[in-house]
Structure 1
Amino acid sequence: MSILNKEERLVPVDLEPFIELPGRDRAGQAYRFGYRCKETGVPAAIVEIAATTVAQFVPLQVSARMTTDGKIVVHAQLPDVDHGTPSRESEAISLVELVEAALSVDNLRMEEASRRELRSFLRALEISIQRVRIALAAM
């Protein structure tokens, strides 16, 4: 079955590639790759690939950095593809938000966090605080 009417003939210049990510608005856990008409948005070809397959065969180089105002930013780049192009950057999230999420009752229960793990987490935060104090004193 063709998505296009017989009268509608698309040539390659009329088409643009697209990717639809799995999400709340779409059922299933599959990426949709294809080409659609630039003018109308009507798909000319679609291939669905399971998200697990994409994750398995499309390796990402992921890194994270913290800004001096306490925000965490994650960068993702496709190795051997993104030469010279900037990596995709996530929206910055504050360290405080991440700590609050980690310490939420639901997360602690789901992670089956122990007192030992939380003490280790606290030590890491205290070391980080001390290093910020040292940097401030040196300014």
Structure 2
Amino acid sequence: MRGENHRTPLEKIQLGASEELVLHQQGYTFDSVPDQGETVYLRDNSNVSTGGDSFDMTDEFSEDYKQLAVQVAQTLGATICGVDIIIPDIAAPASAVDAYGIIEANFNPMMHMHCYPYRGKGRRLTMDILRLLYPDFVK
């Protein structure tokens, strides 16, 4: 399921200059073998586009966070929009002070990452989008 240049559902882990630098900062090279149980990072961030895995957490969040994402999209005037939100404690309600931070809104969201999550339920969002755009043709 992993390939390159977004031609497969998941990307291969990148091994370029950025990853080499992060390894070097931890005292490792691409040829290093870490001790059993040791965690070694390849990047300072984790993106699906660079080989990271997605975790579907939809069913674990309360409706107030889902409504927050909808409100963000509506405020931006977007019919289709991905909203990236950092939520340190999913038990805290969205109304709590500092409960979340909105990172960005994607007007061209990468929907295929939701089909094959590493953990959680796969969701075919594309069918929902097609139904929204073409209600008379897609059932």
- Is the TM value for this pair above 0.5? no
Flag the structure with more relative contact order, 1 or 2, with Cα contacts below 8 A and sequence separation at least 6. Answer: 2
Please identify which structure carries the higher strand content: 1
Larger radius of gyration: 1
Q: What's the TM-score once normalised by structure 2's chain length? A: 0.29
